[in-house]
Amino acid sequence: MSSETAARPQIVVLMGVSGSGKSTVAGILATRLGWDLLEGDDLHPAANIAKMHAGHALTDADRRPWLEAIARWMSGEVSAGRSGLVTCSALKHSYRDILRQAMTGHPEAVLTFVHLTGSRELLQHRLTARMDHFMPPGLLDSQLDTLEAPAADEHDVVRIEIGPPPAEVAAATLTAIRDRA
C-alpha cells in the first residue's frame, strides 16, 4: 500500500478509550500510507466538548449525531474511491454499527476497526501525562464502563495491544489492515 488509492478503498477506524493512542497511531499511518485522516473528535459538537471538559460522560443521544457525522465522512471517502483513517472511540457495538452503515452501497470497500487496548494503569498514566485535551482523566472509568469489547461476530475488528512504542503499534496495525485488504 502506498499513497496511491488502493484497488479497494479501505476505511480504518482506530477505536478505543481515551488515552489508547488513536491519534498518535493514526498520524503515523496517515503519513506512511498517504491516506486522508479524520480526527473524530473534531466533529464533536461544542456541547459535547463542553460536557466532557466539565467531567460529564456523554450519553448515547449525545454521541449519535457525532457518529453520524463520522459515518458521512467515511461514506464520502469510499464514494470518491479513497481510503481513509478515522479516530473514534466506537465504544459500543451499536456505535460501531452506525459506522458500519456508512459502507452500505459500497461492497467494494473494506472496513476495519482497530481496537487499541491496554491496561487501565497504562491508560491512566497516558491521560494524566497529556496536556491540552478536553477529555479529563477522571472520565476514563466511565469510558471503560461503557466499552463493549468487540464480540466474536464482529469480524471486521482486530485487536492491537498498546504497550509497545507507537511506531510498533502502527506497524502491527499496518500488518493487520494489509491482511484484510
pLDDT digits (tens, 9 = 90+) for 30-43: 999 999 999 998 99
Q: Check if the beta carbon of residue 18 is closer than 8 Å to that of residue 89.
A: yes
* Fold for the domain defined by 10-180: Rossmann fold (3.40.50)
HSE-CB at 68 with a 13 A cutoff on CA atoms is: 7
Longest dimension (CA), the chain: 45
Question: Which triple of cell numbers denotes residue 74?
Answer: 467515511
Within 13 Å of residue 149, how many CA atoms lie on the same side as its CB? Answer: 5
With 80 as the cut, is the pLDDT of residue 88 above it?
yes
pTM to 2 decimal places: 0.88
Residue corresponding to grid cell 467515511: 74
Tell me how far apart the alpha carbons of residues 59 and 49 are, in angstroms, rounded to a whole number.
Answer: 13
- Residue 73 pLDDT: 97
